[in-house]
Copies of this chain bind each other. A is one copy, B any other.
Amino acid sequence: MKVRVYVRLKPSILDPQGRTVLRAAQQMGYSEIQQVRIGKLIELDIDASDKNEVESRVQELSRKLLSNPQMEEFDLEWSLEEN
């Protein structure tokens, strides 16, 4: 089973890396780009067949290891292709 964990900075947290990319994009002529925020896309392969069985564990793992709950928030997306 495949799960994607999207980890993003909370809206109130500054994103200096995103600002740097924004500035570079504008200098390259992409003046229509107004804001850039950079987060993480974490893809997990999980040895389990029942989504409900593992969902709370993946939530827990995301909270404890994959994100910093003080500064970040996360969402899970379950791949349709394999349950």
Contacts and interface: CB of A to CB of B under 8 A. Distances in A.
Interface of A: 6-8, 18, 21, 24-25, 28, 30, 32-48, 54, 57, 61, 64-66
State the oligomeric state as a number of copies. Answer: 2
Given A39-B41, A41-B7, A65 B34 contact: no
A54 B8 CA distance: 24
Nearest to A27: B65
Contacts of A32: 46-48, 54, 57
A61 B30 CA distance: 8
Contact of A39 (B40, B45, B57): B40
Contact of A21 (B30, B39, B48, B65): B65
